[in-house]
């Protein structure tokens, strides 16, 4: 059994049914989708790719994303989804680490050839049409059989060590995630549709699995991204849509509804369900969202290591205003999703009593097989079958989890994770820079923004502009500091460790450090 069988099944049962839309234009029926994916799988096999080989997807959201994804699974390959905002050098590092030989790209994202590849295919070039065109014997090509523990998705997550780690997700992990959607998130029928606004390389993309399971339609906005007006219009044209959105995107949708004077009933014509997660949603924001757009929200909490499956705060929880603990529940991330056990523990993994704050641990069939070729990191993340998430929170007596903080130093800006260490390492390579500390500062639009405190050699000519240029050439734009603060020294404790709490307090306090 492989994820490819999900597509085969619908291609056999409902080959004519509309499956993938490019904006409002039909891109493929189930039958066409399966035929193209199988044809590409056949050509990849003919070119020498064997089950377990890695192929990179470095693309903006595009209807071909789904065809390539299922082609890879049809051939028993492992997909390495890469955030379209990454710098070419970061992608080349991933290609090398994953030992991937093929990459599928969109030209806007990868205008040049990436190093280390045998094949780089621009999915929008005419050549790609030929690769996806069925051959006379394509219909007879069955998906390569896979075991539940075989890898399907090798997802690179930025690590505290500064280099991303490959999260190994298996067919079982993703099947579990898909089936769980129907129990803990939403029902899906064949007349429903999912729209991909958030990047398909992340959670939004793997929600294609439950929607394919249910035979629903898949809609990729023509813009390939998040334009609230476009999303509302697509919903009106194709029927109410479901989508996954980070809190920043939810905010933009709500702003749009409010600015254009839409009522909750109007919003219901465009959206069936908006699943949000990936970063904290503030109580006031979800209250406003419910008021403006009506009861169409579900919150999930998870992480790359247990994708989309951790806890859920259901539509019922979010609308049960009469419940005596409604306020507390709104501020929580909900209860454990069906296939997982969840506990809050101390640093040794010992379960803490209700109400105590500790690290969140998750166990179940959604939890990754480990980090790619990194047994040390795997051993510290998974102990006795429990995933140590690095998130800190507490459980109440009803099983609702409230997140307090992250034990990692992670910054979440606009739903994207940024690890300070990664940015610090880049800044430290700039001429004249001696010390750097990167922290997140609260921001009403982005949730958090990246701020870099920099100590430079006197007279070295280090400026905000030179630092920004340095980052532009080396890391993804979204990871660049939005602000630089040039300081004479960094606050440190007795062991010489930089006191980031003090820096954060400086940013929050009344007398802000002067910006260069
Ligand atoms: P990622 O691995 O990119 O999916 O990021 C996962 C991290 O995002 C988690 O470990 C949490 O710190 C954070 N996160 C995910 N979902 C939520 C949520 N619903 N509320 C608050 N933080 C969240």
Rounded Cα distance, 44 and 382, in Å: 34
Q: What integer pLDDT is reported at residue 251 of this predicted model?
A: 87
pLDDT of 512 above 50: no
Q: Which residues pair with 335 in a beta bridge?
A: 312
Report how far ligand 1's centroid is from the alpha carbon of 277 (Å). Answer: 7
CA–CA dist 335, 201 (Å, integer): 26
Give start and end residues of each alpha helix (H) in 136-180: 171-180
Q: The whole model's pTM is what?
A: 0.87
Q: Is 158 in the pocket of ligand 1 (CB under 6 A)?
A: no
* CA count, 13 A, side-chain hemisphere, 410: 23
What's the chain's average pLDDT?
93
Instruction: Yes or no: say if 413 and 448 are a contact pair by the CB < 8 Å rule.
Output: yes
Strand partners, 21: 26, 219
Looking at residue 516, its pLDDT comes to 35
Which pLDDT belongs to residue 497? 63
Query: Domains in the chain and their CATH numbers?
Result: 1-169 (3.40.50.12780), 410-515 (3.30.300.30)
Question: Model confidence at 432, in pLDDT bands (50, 70, 90)?
Answer: very high
pLDDT of residue 511 exceeding 60, the answer is: no
> Is 210 near ligand 1, meaning CB less than 6 Å away?
no
Cα(325) to centroid(ligand 1), Å: 23
Structure tokens at 244: 């996954």
Res 361 pLDDT > 70: yes
Q: How crowded is the C-beta side of 405, counted as CA atoms within 13 Å? A: 7
29 lines ligand 1 (CB under 6 A): no
| Atom 9 in ligand 1: residue holding the nearest Cα | 303
Which has more pLDDT, 84 or 422?
84
Mean local confidence (pLDDT), 396-404:
94
pLDDT > 80? residue 206: yes
CB–CB of 74/109 below 8 Å? no
Give the confidence band of 408 by pLDDT, cuts at 50, 70, 90: low
| pLDDT score at 513 | 40
Measured from the CB, is residue 138 less than 6 Å from ligand 1? no
- Which residues have CB under 8 Å from 417's CB, separation 6+? 157, 158, 410, 411
Using the predicted structure, report yes or no on whether residue 36 has a pLDDT greater than 90: yes
Mean pLDDT of 113-142: 95
Q: What is the pLDDT of residues 145-179, one digit of tens each?
A: 999 999 999 999 865 456 789 999 999 999 999 99
Kindly give the distance from the C-alpha atom of residue 21 to the centroid of ligand 1, in angstroms, as a whole number.
29
Q: Is 391 in the pocket of ligand 1 (CB under 6 A)?
A: yes
Asked if pLDDT for residue 440 goes beyond 50, the answer is yes
DSSP H or E segment with residue 359: strand 358-364
pLDDT tens-digit series, residues 67-96: 999 999 999 999 999 999 899 999 999 999
Of the two residues 417 and 63, the one the predictor is more confident about is 63
- How remote is the CA of residue 190 from the centroid of ligand 1, in Å? 30
- Measured CA to CA in angstroms, residue 477 lies from 196, 253, 291 at distances of 22, 23, 34
Whether residue 215 has pLDDT greater than 50: yes
Q: How far apart are CA 315 and CA 134, in angstroms?
A: 43
488 CB-near residues (< 8 Å, 6+ apart) = 455
Q: Would you say the CB of residue 165 lies under 6 angstroms from ligand 1?
A: no
Q: Which atom of ligand 1 is nearest to the CA of 299?
A: 19
């Amino acid at each position: 059994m492989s994820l490819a069988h999900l597509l085969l099944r619908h291609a056999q049962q409902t080959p004519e049914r509309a499956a993938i839309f490019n904006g409002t234009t039909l891109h493929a029926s189930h039958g066409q989708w399966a035929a193209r994916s199988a044809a590409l799988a056949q050509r990849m096999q003919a070119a020498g790719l064997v089950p377990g080989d890695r192929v990179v997807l470095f693309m903006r959201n595009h209807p071909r994303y789904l065809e390539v994804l299922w082609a890879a699974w049809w051939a028993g390959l492992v997909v390495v989804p890469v955030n379209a905002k990454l710098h070419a050098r970061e992608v080349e590092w991933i290609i090398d680490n994953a030992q991937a030989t093929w990459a599928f790209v969109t030209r806007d994202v990868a205008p040049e050839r990436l190093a280390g590849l045998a094949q780089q295919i621009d999915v929008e070039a005419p050549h790609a049409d030929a690769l996806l065109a069925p051959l006379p014997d394509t219909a007879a090509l069955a998906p390569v059989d896979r075991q539940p523990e075989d890898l399907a998705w090798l997802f690179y997550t930025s690590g505290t060590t500064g280099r991303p780690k490959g999260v190994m997700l298996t067919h079982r992990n993703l099947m579990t995630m898909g089936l769980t959607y129907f129990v803990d998130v939403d029902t899906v029928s064949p007349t429903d549709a999912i729209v991909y606004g958030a990047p398909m390389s992340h959670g939004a993309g793997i929600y294609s699995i439950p929607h394919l399971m249910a035979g629903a339609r898949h809609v990729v906005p023509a813009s390939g991204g998040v334009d609230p007006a476009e999303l509302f219009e697509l919903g009106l044209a194709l029927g109410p849509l479901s989508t996954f959105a980070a809190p920043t995107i939810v905010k933009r949708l709500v702003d749009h509804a409010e600015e254009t004077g839409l009522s909750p009933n109007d919003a219901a014509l465009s959206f069936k369900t908006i699943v949000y997660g990936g970063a904290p949603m503030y109580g006031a924001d979800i209250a406003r969202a419910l008021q403006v757009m009506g009861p169409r929200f579900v919150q999930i909490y998870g992480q790359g290591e247990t994708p989309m499956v951790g806890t859920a705060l259901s539509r019922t929880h979010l609308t049960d205003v009469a419940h005596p603990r409604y306020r507390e529940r709104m501020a929580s991330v909900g209860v454990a999703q069906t296939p997982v056990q969840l506990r809050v523990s101390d640093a040794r993994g010992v379960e803490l009593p209700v109400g105590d704050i500790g690290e969140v641990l998750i166990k179940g069939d959604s939890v990754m097989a480990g980090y790619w070729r990194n047994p040390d990191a795997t051993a510290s993340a998974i102990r006795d079958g429990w995933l140590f998430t690095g998130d800190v929170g507490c459980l109440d007596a009803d099983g609702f989890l409230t997140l307090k903080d992250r034990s990692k130093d992670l910054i979440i800006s606009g739903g994207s994770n940024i690890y300070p260490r990664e940015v610090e390492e880049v800044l430290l390579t700039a001429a004249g820079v001696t010390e750097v500390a990167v922290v997140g500062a609260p921001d009403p639009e982005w949730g958090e923004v990246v701020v870099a405190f920099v100590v430079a050699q006197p007279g070295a000519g280090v400026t905000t502009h030179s630092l920004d240029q340095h980052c532009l050439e080396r890391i993804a734009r979204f990871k660049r500091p939005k602000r630089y603060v040039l300081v004479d020294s960094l606050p440190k404790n007795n062991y010489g460790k930089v006191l980031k709490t003090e820096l954060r307090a400086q940013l929050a306090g009344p007398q802000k450090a002067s910006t260069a």
